[in-house]
A and B are shown apart, each in its own frame.
Chain A
Amino acid sequence: MTTTAAPRRTPYRPPARMGGRGPLTANMRRRLTILVFLLPAATVLAAFVFWPMISAFLMSFTNANGFRTPEFIGLDNYVTVFTDAQVLRSMVNTLLYAALFTPAVVVTALGLALLLNDPRLPLRGMFRTWLFLPFIVSLAVAAFAWQYLLDPQIGLLNYWMRGFGLQIGNVFQDPALAMPAVAMIAVWKTFPFYMIVFLAGLQDIPPSLYEASRMDGAGAWGRFRHITLPLLGNTTGFVVVIATIAALQAFDQIYVLTGGGPYRSTQTVVMQIYQSGFKDLDLGFASALSYVLLVATLILGLVQFWLSSRKAEAAV
């Protein structure tokens, strides 16, 4: 508090009377504010998230195709989802994609995060910036770049690999290699995201723990196994879950590169939803398949919620 009087003081103005403006009481004004503030977001979410959820559920029991009046057909669409060989194939493919993508992206991201977190690495900031760059590239553009690099005739990477005696042919036309290839493109595009999450987790580990273990004579591997990995456990679990959720939604690079082929070997659930819903106009069936995706994601989401509440507990 200063003791000198302020030379230019604004004249005293009494606070506005409660509910000063117009005939509204303070309480009504407060309620009006809440309503006005919430209304835009609530409208958007109600119309484009909550209503579609209900609508997709209802549609999944009909034979809606966008033209005729939908008829109720009971569980037929769900029976198709779980018995049709092609649909089951798309689910197996999605799981295969997740099995390829998730471990690869977790290992890549963790390895690079450990590297970037090592104080002995010179120019850490520069490397972090460069390694972050794929994050800003769209999956579609990533797909174009890799398609050119891996082109069997004029691809630079293909040419270099042949120099090392590696003949891989046209990966996107090869039923055995197409899926690993599209998963690898997603690994390249998304590892920076998970790397940053790991880096944040690594920086939460108190350095004193490492010093103590060094004094106890633990080697680098010992420190990694007994300090880094256990303390990073929650972060890792969390990354595995969000990477798997992302894997269930695989679409972009597959649409660009293979269109689900060759021989449906890269046909994922979202590709199937896209084709059934927007090409075949089998909206009822596509909605049923959407709900399977939704339930699978919700289950993973609950695991994530459980992990993060455990993380919050650990932090307390």
Chain B
Amino acid sequence: MSTTTLASGTSALSRRIAPALLFLIALAATLITLLPIAIVIFTAFKPTAEVNAFPPTLLPEAWTLANFERIFTDLPFARLIVNSFVFAGGVTLLSLTFDALAAYVLARIDFRGSRILLIALIGSLMIPFQATLIPVYQLVADLGWINSYAGLIAPRAADAFGIFFLRQFFLSLPRDLDSAARVDGASEVRIFRSIVLPNAVPALVTLGVYNFVNNWNDLLWPLVMTTDPEMGTITSGLTALTGPGGIIPFGVMMAGSLIALLPLAILFLFLQRRFVASVASTGLK
């Protein structure tokens, strides 16, 4: 731990004041930060009259579930929830598998061409997905995969960052583990499955969290990939509620937003350390 200090002072008085002052600053920052999340949570339970009332309030007076009922009639919301899980979950599972397989070869087996592959991989890290959106869409359309799970998932079933991230992790595992097994005649499949993978669980969970959160929250890809309202995700489906002009049903929107938030909030509750690690490691790529 380093000891950066914001306020100076060595006197006894300031030594007691500093923590209180820092606490107040942190508290203010936290309250401002949490206000938009609080408004989502509380508005979701407000009756429409209160949502549109003036002066506005934060907390509901009469709590209601009407907004939650309406989101399921205004939108095919149950289907959207399923789609979100299939899309984010499918991408996460497939890309973890494919990334790990490729990363294992790149980290553990020396072969001709591995350097070139690695350079191509690092080069493609820098390609923003928005820049290739149109040809990717066209390819998916040519395959007849618009409005399908295959179309949503396939383009993201492997990604350069995931391969690179896992390769770096596999490189950090001691080589003695697998060279001993290799001498004993174990196949690469066996070494991968029973030696490397079990030791890579933290890295896999970190990458899994990163992939799940990004795809769950993604808007642009499901938006262009799905023209059928039944095939969107929660994130893309909710945007159908807004639009230029007209009254925005904020209560219904917040109920939908709260449902969108819930799975990630639960995941965050259990895997807080992995979330932070996923940020720290993407930040270090």
B132 and A56 contact, CB distance less than 8 A: yes
A44 and B154 contact, CB distance less than 8 A: yes
A165 contacts across to B, CB distance below 8 A: none
**In whole angstroms, what is the CA distance A200 to B136 when docked?**
36
Nearest CB to that of A163 among chain B residues?
B55
* Minimum C-beta distance from B139 to chain A (A): 7
B4 and A117 contact, CB distance less than 8 A: yes
Query: Which of these binds chain A: B75-83, B199-207, B268-276?
Result: B268-276
B13 CB-CB contact with A under 8 Å: no
B217 contacts across to A, CB distance below 8 A: 136-141
Q: Which of B4, B264, B283 contacts A197 (CB 8 A)?
A: B283
**In whole angstroms, what is the CA distance A177 to B109 when docked?**
55
* Minimum C-beta distance from B142 to chain A (A): 11
A131 contacts across to B, CB distance below 8 A: 29-30, 33
B101 CB-CB contact with A under 8 Å: yes
Task: Take A145-B39, A156-B56, A196-B280 as given contacts and tell me if A297 and B126 are in contact as well, using a CB distance cutoff of 8 Å.
Answer: yes
B261 and A141 contact, CB distance less than 8 A: yes
A99 CB-CB contact with B under 8 Å: no
B220 and A251 contact, CB distance less than 8 A: yes
Interface centre among B139, B155, B248, B283 (most CB of A within 10 A): B283
* A224-260 contact mask (Cβ, 8 Å, vs B): 1 or 0: 1000100000000011001001001101100111010
A147 and B55 contact, CB distance less than 8 A: no
Residues facing A in B48-79 (CB within 8 A) are 51-58
A149 and B36 contact, CB distance less than 8 A: yes
Residues facing A in B92-146 (CB within 8 A) are 97-99, 101-102, 104-105, 109, 111, 117, 120-121, 124-128, 130-139
A287 and B30 contact, CB distance less than 8 A: no
A48 and B104 contact, CB distance less than 8 A: no
B128 and A44 contact, CB distance less than 8 A: no
Interface centre among B7, B98, B213 (most CB of A within 10 A): B98
B169 contacts across to A, CB distance below 8 A: none
B139 and A47 contact, CB distance less than 8 A: yes
B5 and A220 contact, CB distance less than 8 A: yes
B8 and A219 contact, CB distance less than 8 A: yes
B163 and A41 contact, CB distance less than 8 A: yes
**In whole angstroms, what is the CA distance A117 to B6 when docked?**
10
* Minimum C-beta distance from B135 to chain A (A): 4
A221 and B8 contact, CB distance less than 8 A: yes
* A30-64 contact mask (Cβ, 8 Å, vs B): 1 or 0: 11011001101110110111111101100100000
* A272-316 contact mask (Cβ, 8 Å, vs B): 1 or 0: 011001100001001100110110011001100000000000000
B172 CB-CB contact with A under 8 Å: no
B36 and A203 contact, CB distance less than 8 A: no
* Minimum C-beta distance from A157 to chain B (A): 7
A130 and B284 contact, CB distance less than 8 A: no
B279 and A193 contact, CB distance less than 8 A: yes
Residues facing A in B211-258 (CB within 8 A) are 213, 216-220, 223-224, 235-236, 238-239, 242, 244, 248, 250, 253-254, 257
* A154-174 contact mask (Cβ, 8 Å, vs B): 1 or 0: 111101000000000000000
Interface centre among A37, A117, A274 (most CB of B within 10 A): A37
B52 contacts across to A, CB distance below 8 A: 154
A25 CB-CB contact with B under 8 Å: no
B133 and A37 contact, CB distance less than 8 A: no
A200 contacts across to B, CB distance below 8 A: 280, 283-284
B238 contacts across to A, CB distance below 8 A: 140-141, 144
A16 CB-CB contact with B under 8 Å: yes
Q: Which of B132, B224, B265 contacts A52 (CB 8 A)?
A: B132
* Minimum C-beta distance from B65 to chain A (A): 19
* Minimum C-beta distance from B261 to chain A (A): 6
Q: Which of A49, A238, A256 contacts B239 (CB 8 A)?
A: A256
**In whole angstroms, what is the CA distance A188 to B33 when docked?**
7
Query: Which of these binds chain B: A3-11, A75-83, A204-212?
Result: A204-212
**In whole angstroms, what is the CA distance A40 to B265 when docked?**
32
**In whole angstroms, what is the CA distance A66 to B272 when docked?**
45
A148 CB-CB contact with B under 8 Å: yes
Task: Take A34-B105, A144-B253 as given contacts and tell me if A273 and B188 are in contact as well, using a CB distance cutoff of 8 Å.
Answer: no
Interface centre among A33, A146, A257 (most CB of B within 10 A): A33
A138 and B235 contact, CB distance less than 8 A: yes
Other than A117-B2, A144-B254, give 5 A-B pairs with Cβ distance below 8 A: A44-B154, A115-B29, A223-B5, A252-B219, A278-B137
6 A-B Cβ contacts within 8 A?
Answer: A33-B109, A38-B117, A118-B6, A255-B220, A259-B244, A277-B134
The 5 A-B pairs of least Cβ separation, nearest first, read A138-B217, A301-B126, A197-B283, A52-B135, A220-B8
Which chain A residues have a beta carbon within 8 Å of chain B's beta carbons? 15-16, 20, 29-31, 33-34, 37-38, 40-42, 44-45, 47-53, 55-56, 59, 66, 112, 114-123, 127, 129-142, 144-149, 151, 153-157, 159, 188, 192-194, 196-197, 200, 202-203, 205-207, 210-211, 219-221, 223-224, 228, 238-239, 242, 245, 248-249, 251-252, 255-257, 259, 261, 270, 273-274, 277-278, 283, 286-287, 290-291, 293-294, 297-298, 301-302
